[in-house]
Structure 1
Amino acid sequence: MTSMIKVSGAAVVDSLENPSLLLVARRSAPPKFAGMWEFPGGKVEEGESFEEALHRELGEELGIRVRLGEEIPAPDDAGWPLNERAVMRVWFAEVLDGEPRALEDHDELRWVRLDDIDAALGLPWIPADFPIVHALLGQVSAAA
């Protein structure tokens, strides 16, 4: 039995205390997902925690350093299912240092207003990320 691939993702917002904007990233590869939007992040490497992987990935992909907030609760303790072999855990994150730039894996970054649900849900999300977007919007509106 092959172990599950663990992926760490970030819902980068303008403020952990009062989020109004969400940073989304458009994939440039692989072809199956090119042009689709996702939460930035990546695979957890051997010996890393989810949080350590997220800090590393955000530095590599976006050139930023962040402060992590709450995790977006997944329907399963293992995380959000991405496919039959991978799960992702997602945390709110606020930029502490750096200006987000599409350095790796993405060709565009965009800030989306969290109070414009149609704009957030209207993007062509990678299918596995779509339920996470719904959960995030519900969590933000419940806290408002």
Structure 2
Amino acid sequence: MTERIVVVAAALCDGDRLLAARRSAPPELAGRWELPGGKVEPGESPQQALVRELREELGVEAEALERVPGEWPLRPPYVLQAWRARLLPGSADPEPLQDHDALRWLTPQEFGDVNWLDQDVEAIGALKALQRP
């Protein structure tokens, strides 16, 4: 049996706004939107991977908060886990440095305005359920 590889996605929030990142690569994903993140490397915790990926992809310093309930299959052996995250005080503003060509802060009313990757739609649904009072 192949060991699964976790890919972490950041539900990076600023108040009620959520950061969406438009993919620029690979070609089959280009133009679609996602929660930024990437693979957990050997010896890393998911939280450490999330912080590293946000630094590499967006040039920000962030903190992983809690995991969004659920896990979503990607192409084998990858699975997606989402984490709520926040920018640390004094962090730079996010910029699309790697794998993305645009960023948008979306209010809950705007979540449906972008063409999300399928697994991110499910993660955002779980995030919205987590945030309900």
TM-score, normalised to structure 2's length? 0.92
Give the letter aligned to residue 6 of structure 2: K
Matched ranges for 1:116-131 at <5 A = 116=109, 119-131=110-122
Structure 1 residue 130: Cα displacement:
1.1
User: C-alpha separation between the residues in 2 aligned to 1:49 and 1:69?
Assistant: 13
Shift of 1:113: 0.3
Q: Which segments of 5 or more consecutive residues in structure 1 lack a partner in the other structure?
A: none
Distance 1:2 1:138 in 2: 32
State the distance in 1 between where 2:112 and 2:4 align. 28
Matches within 5 A, 1:98-109: 98-109=92-103
Give the Cα separation in 1 of the matches to 2:64 and 2:49.
12
3-state SS, counterpart of residue 45 of structure 1:
coil
Which residue identity is paired with 1:10? A
Identity across the alignment (%): 45
Alignment of 1:11-22 (within 5 A): 11-14=11-14, 19-22=15-18
Task: Decide whether the 8 Å contact of 1:121 with 1:133 is kept in 2.
Answer: no
User: 2:121, 2:130 → 1: CA distance?
Assistant: 14
What code does the residue aligned with 2:97 have?
Answer: L
2:64 counterpart residue number: 68
Alignment partners' CA distance in 2, 1:112 and 1:3: 35
Moved over 4 A (4+): none
Distance of 1:135 and 1:31 partners within structure 2: 27
Contact 2:50-2:64 at 8 Å conserved across structures: no
Distance in 1 between residues matched to 2:81 and 2:123, nearest whole Å: 10
Range that drifts further, 99-108 or 2-11: 2-11
> Over aligned residues, Cα RMSD in angstroms?
1.2
- Structure-2 separation of matches of 1:40 and 1:51: 13
> How many residues in Structure 1 have an aligned counterpart in Structure 2?
131
Please state whether the residue corresponding to 1:83 is helix, strand or coil.
Answer: coil
What code does the residue aligned with 1:89 have? Q
